[in-house]
Amino acid sequence: MDKFRVALSSDFLKPDGTPAYPSFDLSPLEENPNIETAYIPAKTVIDASDIAGFDALILLSSRFERDSFSHDGRLCLIARFGVGYDTVDVEACSDHAVALVITPDGVRRPVAVSILTLMLALCGKLMQKDRLIRQGPEGWAQRSGHMGAGLVGKTLGSIGVGNIGAEMFRLAQAFDMDFIAHDPYVDPEVSKSLEVRMVGLPHLFRESDILAINCPLSEETHNMVSSDLLSLMKPTAYLINTARGPIVDQKALTEALIAGHIAGAGLDVFSEEPTAVDDPLIKLDNVIVTPHALCWTDQCFAGIGASDVKAVLEVMHGEEPAYIVNREILENAVWRRKLNANHSKFGPG
């Protein structure tokens, strides 16, 4: 009997071929006698010739575009290692009868914790105080000029109250802050239960003391955080972005930070990644920057990996996986035939 073939992009491996992320447990796949796993080149864009003959793909950082689909039509699942799917052509997935899944359960808590890490570091002026102590007595003498900002009664705002945004508010309840957000797609019951007041976008920028971006990158949100909106923020306010860099007009943000129109920013994502060494943004003292990896912990990668492995096993047994992005695939007759064939071949899970 043919095996269920699972491809993984080779950026899950170190150059010496050992696992780059040991907490990503592949044993449920590798120990299953009906499954064969293999690594394919992690090119900038996945090549169709490399994905030929595979039923599923677990994808890390490479792009998967319309030309990436093999003509054999065998692929039935792309499992993104994370929640962002702007690197995958979603429409093309549906056109080729392939389900695209993401892993919200794996990133919900780690990313929310990352946001709070940046909030606490910015408001406490952690980085500035770290630099002071490294200057010896001269630095110590300057500490009263770097007073932090308390959080009680301050306003935490969010663009988005989805998976991560809601978790951020849950964790922040201990700080006795006021919560506001903008999200045209919010579930009213969720915002009500979290005591989040929903407001318009300009109002959000005017009132927030700390404003976090918790929405996906799309045509609608590209460069959403513009110079006009940044100009509405308080000079004491902080902007935090752990979502996607292009949601923010980075040039406008840099100018606002240099001019002191806002107090600072915490950024884990950027308009271009990796950032250039001469990027003026990363030279600023009022910015904390991390390499799109602040949430990367053993627990985060274990959770993401477990979610992707579960999706692969469900599809192999002919079951619908959770967290499908292109929901229209559920009515796709060709995809249904693939699932049914899997069920007939490998049985129920």
Q: Of the residues 109, 244, 261, 314, which is catalytic?
A: 244
Mapped onto helix, strand or coil, the DSSP state of residue 20 is: coil
Q: Is the pLDDT of residue 20 over 70?
A: yes
Q: What is the pLDDT of residues 159-203, one digit of tens each?
A: 999 999 999 999 999 999 999 999 999 999 999 999 999 999 999
The class of domain 106-289 in CATH terms is alpha beta
- Indicate if 74 belongs to the active site: no
Question: 123 phi and psi, to 5 degrees?
Answer: -70, -30
Average of per-residue pLDDT values in the chain? 97
Q: Is the pLDDT of residue 155 over 80?
A: yes
Q: What is the pLDDT of residues 294-325, one digit of tens each?
A: 999 999 999 999 999 999 999 999 999 999 99
Amino acid at 23: S
Asked if 6 and 28 count as a contact pair (C-beta separation under 8 A), the reply is no
Q: Of the residues 222, 273, 328, 337, which is catalytic?
A: 273
- Indicate if 138 belongs to the active site: no
- Indicate if 244 belongs to the active site: yes
Domain boundaries 4-102+298-346, corresponding CATH code: 3.40.50.720
Q: Where in the chain is the domain with CATH 3.40.50.720?
A: 4-102+298-346, 106-289
Q: How far apart are CA 160 and CA 237, in angstroms?
A: 18
Instruction: Name the one residue in this structure whose structure tokens are 């600072």.
Output: 264
pLDDT (mean) for 70-81: 97
Q: Of the residues 167, 261, 292, 314, which is catalytic?
A: 292
What is the per-residue pLDDT for 250? 98
Q: How far apart are CA 121 and CA 298, in angstroms?
A: 22
Which of 218-224's residues contact partners 24+ apart within 8 Å by CB, and which partners? 218/86, 221/247, 222/246, 222/247, 223/247, 223/248, 223/249, 224/159, 224/248
Nearest-CA neighbor of 324 among 108, 162, 101? 101
What is the per-residue pLDDT for 1? 60
What is the per-residue pLDDT for 24? 97
What is the per-residue pLDDT for 107? 96
Which of the two residues, 1 and 142, has the higher pLDDT score? 142
Q: How far apart are CA 97 and CA 78, in angstroms?
A: 11
pLDDT (mean) for 12-18: 96
What is the per-residue pLDDT for 158? 98
Confidence of residue 349 (pLDDT cuts 50, 70, 90): confident
Cis peptide before 274 (omega within 30 of 0): yes
